[in-house]
Amino acid sequence: MILCCGEALIDMIPTPTGSGPDGFVPHSGGAVFNTAIALGRLGVQTGMLTGLSSDMFGRQLAESLKASHVDTSHVVLSDRPTTLAFVRLVDGHATYCFFDENSAGRMLDQADFPALSSEVSTLFFGGISLACEPAADAYSTLLARESRGRAVMIDPNIRPRFIKDIVRYRSRLDRMISHADIVKVSDEDLNWLLPSPLSLHEKVSVLLEKGPSAVILTRGGEGATGFLADGSEVRVAAERAEIADTVGAGDTFNAGVLAKLSELGCLTKAHLQNLTTDTLRLAMEHGAKVAAVTVSRTGANPPWAREL
């Protein structure tokens, strides 16, 4: 099972009302949640570890997970509110305004997490859950405790406005990356993490020195480049699509990569330490295909396997 560890929230998507200003329609979302949903729809055995509220939005999130065949046995329920992300779309590209104080996801403590069984073979972390304390520290502790023998992928998906203590955040992320086998970053993420006058290639080398076997750098419409620890590289073009919006694009790319690696029997620590460029290319191409379907429709609405 791939266990996706991190935030689940409600994306409030602007929608025409027919008269007057746009209204907002609640869509289930969150970076890690989107990856879990996409994996479930792609037919991969998937679970989610997150904090969900008992409010109406929390129930919506739980129902969305179950509808996409995502195991919810690791979900932690509470009566705290659900995180809300109000989305503003400009030429199909999304910016966000978050309401996350005292939320069910943010207030998780490591003592809340259930023990992980041997069925969990892979851990995925990312999103705002790596920045918002106390949950961020809980996820970091979980990774350090449970990563031995399990494959790990991280996508920090950095939202600077959530980062209250930059030094503390960088230190936490460095520790987590040292346990990761695959790190996916956008060019914006990488430039924020390493704001030095280095090339993107040199910045990727800095990440690889921290311990992962592979770094995948995405650049929107310019596609993605995969870098292996042995210095080899692979480039994959973005799949062309008519864009409705970009909500969840990177999240479903992650799911496509993980799904293909799982299908190929390569989603283990041992295999990832000896990953070939051919295998990485297949995984990234699948990620691009899955993401192209998602951006062609409103909100984070990943495709089912039959749609590919």
For residue range 64-80, what is the model confidence (pLDDT) as tens digits? Answer: 999 999 999 999 999 99
Higher pLDDT pick, 295 / 155 = 155
- Mean pLDDT calculated for residue range 181-195: 94
- Mean pLDDT calculated for residue range 86-107: 83
Distances in whole angstroms, Cα of residue 97 to Cα of each of 94, 161, 242: 10, 10, 26
Q: Tell me what pLDDT residue 92 has.
A: 59
Q: How deeply is 195 buried, as exposed, middle or buried, from its count of CB atoms within 10 A (0-12, 13-18, 19+)?
A: exposed
Place 247 in a pLDDT band, splitting at 50, 70 and 90.
Answer: confident
Which amino acid does the sequence have at 258? L
Worst-scoring range by mean pLDDT, 16-20, 68-72, 151-155, 182-186? 16-20
Q: Is pLDDT at 59 greater than 90 in this prediction?
A: yes
Place 188 in a pLDDT band, splitting at 50, 70 and 90.
Answer: very high
Q: Is pLDDT at 95 greater than 80 in this prediction?
A: no
Domain ranges across the chain:
2-307
Distances in whole angstroms, Cα of residue 263 to Cα of each of 226, 228, 260, 302: 19, 20, 5, 18
Q: What is the overall mean pLDDT for the chain? A: 93
Alpha carbon distance 62, 58 (integer Å): 6
Alpha carbon distance 261, 280 (integer Å): 8
Say which CATH topology domain 2-307 has: UDP-N-acetylmuramoyl-L-alanine:D-glutamate ligase (3.40.1190)
Which amino acid does the sequence have at 242? E
Question: What percentage of the chain carries pLDDT values higher than 90?
Answer: 76
pTM above 0.75, yes or no: yes
- Mean pLDDT calculated for residue range 44-56: 97
Tokens representing residue 300 in the block: 């984070």
